[in-house]
C-alpha cells in the first residue's frame, strides 16, 4: 500500500479515515490533526502557558513532543505515585519522563507523592474505603488534585492530558451504560475553569486512536513505558475498551463515530442545562482551596491529612 501523499510505502493504514501514510507524512499528519483539534475546541493558543501531565506512557510523551514541535510553551508535570509491584513501575516511568525532558531540553516538574505526603498511593488507598479493592479511585483523585494544584501554583493557563480517543470513548461508554448524568454532561475535549480554584483542562488527543498514538511514538523514536499500570488489570475501563474494540473491528470508525456524535448531540442541546446537578452545589475545601461537592475537607485532604493534623485546619 502506498502513501496517499507521495509514492513511498505506507507504514500505517487507517481504514476509519480511509487514509494510508508513509513515515514522513504520518509524523506530519498527527501534529496537523492535533493542531486542528486544539483550534476546533478552542483549547489554548501560542501565548498560553501549558502544563502537560506526563506519565511516561506513549500518549503523554507524544503529546508533549507534538505540542513543543507545534511551538507551544509547554512544560511537563510528572507525579510519582510510588507504585512498584515488583516491576519498578513508577521508577521506570519517571526515568523515561526525565529522559524525554532532558533530550528535548524541556522543563519537567516532579511531584513525588511518597515524599510530599509520606505515603505511596497503594498505602494511602489501603487506609481508605475508596481504595478497598484497588487503589485506582484514590490514585485518580490524587492525580486530579495534584495536577490542578501544580498548574495553579505554577501559573499555567491550561493543563493538558494525553487522553486519546480510546480513553474518551471508554469513559463515555461506561458513563452511558450507567447513564450518569453529571459525567455525561461534563465530558468534553475542554473543561472550563468554571469553579473557583479549578484550572482549565484540555485533551488535545481526544480524537486520535490509541493505535495511532502508539504508531506516532514508535515512528518518532520516543522511548516510553510499555507496561500498563499493574493495578489496571481487570479494570472496568479496560473491559469497556474491549467491547469497543470489538465494535471497531466490526465497523472501522465506530469509536470515533460514537464519540463525535455524542459531542455533536451535546452541542445541539441534547442535555438539559440543569442536568449537571453536582455543578450547582460546589464548596471550597478549607485546607487546599480546591472545589469539593460537600462542605468541609475535600476527598483528597480527607485522605492525606492524618487525624492528628486535622485540628490545625479550620473546617466549617
Which residues of the chain form contacts with its own copies (CB under 8 A)?
176-181, 184-185, 239, 243, 246-247, 250, 254, 257-258, 261-262, 264-265, 268-275
105 vs 233, beta carbon nearer its own copies: 233
| Minimum gap (Å) between residue 77 Cβ and its own copies | 33
| Minimum gap (Å) between residue 174 Cβ and its own copies | 11
| Minimum gap (Å) between residue 185 Cβ and its own copies | 8
190 vs 260, beta carbon nearer its own copies: 260
258 vs 300, beta carbon nearer its own copies: 258
| Minimum gap (Å) between residue 293 Cβ and its own copies | 17
155 vs 273, beta carbon nearer its own copies: 273
Cα R_g (the chain), whole angstroms = 20
191 vs 247, beta carbon nearer its own copies: 247
Cell of 209: 486512536
| DSSP letter assigned to residue 233 | T
Give the span between the Cα atoms of 208 and 162, in whole angstroms. Answer: 10
Kindly compute the dihedral angle of the four CA atoms of residues 133, 243, 66, 267, in this order, to the nearest 10 degrees: -100
| Minimum gap (Å) between residue 233 Cβ and its own copies | 16
Are 219 and 26 within 8 A, CB to CB? yes
Specify the residue for cell string 508533549.
64
Residue 237, Cβ neighbours under 10 Å: how many? 14
27 vs 279, beta carbon nearer its own copies: 279
| Minimum gap (Å) between residue 42 Cβ and its own copies | 22
Give the span between the Cα atoms of 83 and 53, in whole angstroms. Answer: 17
1 vs 243, beta carbon nearer its own copies: 243
282 φψ region: left (φ > 0), alpha (ψ -120 to 50), beta (else): beta
Are 212 and 43 within 8 A, CB to CB? no
Cell of 28: 506530519
Q: Number of C-alpha atoms within 13 angstroms, CB side, residue 37?
A: 23
- What are the phi and psi torsion angles at 292 (to 5°)? -145, 155
| Minimum gap (Å) between residue 264 Cβ and its own copies | 7
Give the torsion sign (CA, 41, 46, 52, 57). positive
Amino acid at each position: 500500500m502506498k502513501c496517499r501523499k507521495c509514492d513511498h510505502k505506507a507504514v500505517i493504514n487507517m481504514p476509519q479515515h480511509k487514509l494510508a501514510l508513509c513515515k514522513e507524512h504520518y509524523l506530519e499528519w498527527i501534529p496537523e490533526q492535533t493542531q486542528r483539534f486544539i483550534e476546533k475546541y478552542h483549547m489554548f493558543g501560542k501565548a498560553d502557558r501549558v502544563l502537560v501531565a506526563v506519565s511516561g506512557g506513549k500518549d503523554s510523551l507524544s503529546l508533549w513532543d507534538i505540542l513543543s514541535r507545534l511551538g507551544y510553551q509547554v512544560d511537563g508535570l510528572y507525579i510519582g505515585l510510588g507504585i512498584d509491584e515488583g516491576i519498578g513501575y513508577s521508577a521506570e516511568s519517571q526515568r523515561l519522563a526525565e529522559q524525554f525532558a532532558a533530550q528535548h531540553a524541556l522543563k519537567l516538574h516532579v511531584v513525588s507523592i511518597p515524599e510530599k505526603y509520606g505515603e505511596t498511593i497503594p498505602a494511602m488507598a489501603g487506609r481508605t474505603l475508596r481504595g478497598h479493592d484497588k487503589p485506582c479511585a484514590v490514585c485518580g483523585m490524587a492525580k486530579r488534585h495534584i495536577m490542578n494544584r501544580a498548574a495553579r501554583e505554577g501559573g499555567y493557563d491550561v493543563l493538558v492530558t494525553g487522553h486519546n480517543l480510546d480513553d474518551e470513548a471508554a469513559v463515555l461508554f461506561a458513563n452511558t451504560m450507567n447513564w450518569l448524568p453529571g459525567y455525561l454532561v461534563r465530558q468534553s475535549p475542554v473543561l472550563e475553569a468554571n469553579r473557583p480554584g479549578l484550572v482549565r483542562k484540555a485533551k488535545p488527543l481526544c480524537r486520535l486512536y490509541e493505535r495511532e498514538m502508539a504508531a506516532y511514538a514508535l515512528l518518532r523514536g520516543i522511548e516510553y513505558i510499555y507496561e500498563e499500570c499493574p493495578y489496571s488489570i481487570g479494570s472496568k475501563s479496560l473491559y469497556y475498551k474491549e467491547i469497543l474494540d470489538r465494535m471497531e473491528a466490526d465497523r472501522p470508525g465506530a469509536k470515533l463515530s460514537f464519540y463525535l456524535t455524542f459531542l455533536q448531540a451535546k452541542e445541539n442541546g441534547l442535555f438539559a442545562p440543569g442536568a449537571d446537578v453536582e455543578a450547582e452545589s460546589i464548596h471550597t475545601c478549607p485546607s487546599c482551596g480546591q472545589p469539593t461537592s460537600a462542605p468541609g475537607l475535600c476527598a483528597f485532604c480527607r485522605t492525606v491529612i492524618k487525624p492528628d493534623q486535622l485540628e490545625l485546619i479550620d473546617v466549617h
